[in-house]
Amino acid sequence: MSTGMSTLHELSAAELLAGYRQRQFSPVEVARDVLEHITRWEPHLAATWLLRPEAALAQARASEARWLRGAPCGLLDGVPATLKDNIATAGDPTPLGTAAVPLVPASADAPPAARLREAGAVLIAKTTMPDYGMLSSGLSSFHALARNPWDISKGPGGSSAGAGAAAAAGYGPLHVGTDIGGSIRLPASWCGIFGLKPSLGRVPIDPPYTGRAAGPMTRTVQDAALMMQVLSRPDARDSMSLPAQDIDWQRLAPGLERLRGLRLGLLLDAGCGLGLDDEVRAAVAAAARLFEQAGAIVEPMRPFLTRQMLDGMDHFWRMRSLIDMRQLAPGQLDKVLPFIRQWAESAAAFDGAQVFEAGAQFHATRLATVRACAPFDYVLSPVAPITAFAAELPAPTNDPLQPLEHIAFTVPFNMSEQPAASIHCGHSATGLPIGLQIAGQRFDDLGVLQIAHAFEQLRGPQRPWPQPPE
């Protein structure tokens, strides 16, 4: 079904909710249209797991009845949404992208899943991810290989791989990913969507872990703000959950005047990792000029992440993964993606002093990031130094001993606990999306959304979203 110039699956959450209120269409009509669209796309993308049309339609029918009574149950009633594989949903297994994990049904919804259900969202599916979320690709020993709707020979990024592909392809407007080193922002950049990694603790997650955040992945900033109003409620299961705070997440209106006089840092050198692609540099520099023309003060930043920091975090995560894998039975261990096994097993030679020094780099990264960002209201940078790479590769380097060379722009903000978003700012010559990272001071999640919303207005009309192959 279409409404005006758009089919239902192309509408934003805000547009769907307005349509429900005005009785232009129903949650059932929307769910059917989204499911039909997924059917056309999914053989090419492999973005979903636990795609259950009948369960989704049952949720939509319940929502329709509530709207007909004039009594929606929450802010997102009837809006299609997906959740990443590693966000537990009651009664479903949580494979974490790997065939090595026993498929044991979860006893309860993780906080993001619980908040979406309470708000009335129609949970269409879970989305795919790589083994243990330790890759920036859609390569998995459990899920089919996820691909990028802009070019199916490329990967969508990761580890929120399926979520990025689903958002770009129009699998409904709302998607939740997780991010510990860039796993929301990288697929957002490579799939041309908006993704927000909130301040640590802003969106409760279970299990919690240093640097780990859950956040929205959407086509528009407004839809991400809607999700934040729901997702940001405290939950005691997250030991780092922030206290309740009265934030008007819909207050995006300040618009372009919000930019006048702001001091923006421009970081075009991460300090280590892969070199910055010329097309990415040009797109981010052009975005910075738009901010400058709107009245912001843009100043270049010196790199602050060091090789020692990036390698230290990498080595610590290797040891953590090695310990986890040593808990697996021999038959289970054999099922882990070979790239991941080789990466983790390389930590076996580390001694205690090496692991301690590696762990210390998380704090060193935090200190360096906070210090570098302190003079600025917000920081602009690339999300990734390159555009999307071949879908079959586990990482751009295809080297298990150098797997994190592409996260040098993103991982510092996980360790500093600052909010950071990816917003589409251009395309390569071959049509691949490029993302601009906007990072704010700790707890200024609303400010990041406002700056991103202003950039939506600055950047002008966008290319049409990709459509399923004929």
For 110, half-sphere exposure in the C-beta direction (CA atoms, 13 angstrom radius) is 26
**Which residue ranges form the domains of the chain, and what is each CATH number?**
2-308+350-458 (3.90.1300.10)
**C-alpha–C-alpha distance, residues 179 and 202, integer Å:** 13
Per DSSP bridges, beta strands 48-49 and 122-127 are antiparallel
Residues 6+ apart with CB under 8 A from 74: 118, 119, 120, 121, 230
Q: How far is residue 235's CA from residue 226's CA, in Å, rounded to a whole number? A: 18
Q: Report d(CA 154, CA 146) in Å as an integer.
A: 9
Catalytic residues: 84, 159, 183
* DSSP H stretches of helix in 104-204: 111-118, 161-169, 185-191
Q: Amino acid letter at 215? A: G
Tens place of pLDDT for every residue, the chain, 470 residues? 545 446 999 999 999 999 999 999 999 999 999 999 999 999 999 999 999 999 999 999 999 999 999 999 999 999 999 999 999 999 999 999 999 999 999 999 999 999 999 999 999 999 999 999 999 999 999 999 999 999 999 999 999 999 999 999 999 999 999 999 999 999 999 999 999 999 999 999 999 999 999 999 999 999 999 999 999 999 999 999 999 999 999 999 777 888 999 999 999 999 999 999 999 999 999 999 999 999 999 999 999 999 999 999 999 999 999 999 999 988 999 999 999 999 999 999 999 999 999 999 999 999 999 999 999 999 999 999 999 999 999 999 999 999 999 999 999 999 999 999 999 999 999 999 999 999 999 999 999 999 999 999 999 899 999 999 98
Report the DSSP beta bridge partners of residue 382: 436
Name the residue with tokens 């922030």.
Answer: 242
Residues 6+ apart with CB under 8 A from 174: 13, 76, 79, 80, 81, 82, 116, 121, 216, 218, 223, 226, 227
Give the containing element (helix H, strand E) for 72: none
Instruction: Give CA 320 to chain center in angstroms.
Output: 23
pLDDT value at residue 3: 55
- Whether this prediction's pTM lies above 0.85 is answered by yes
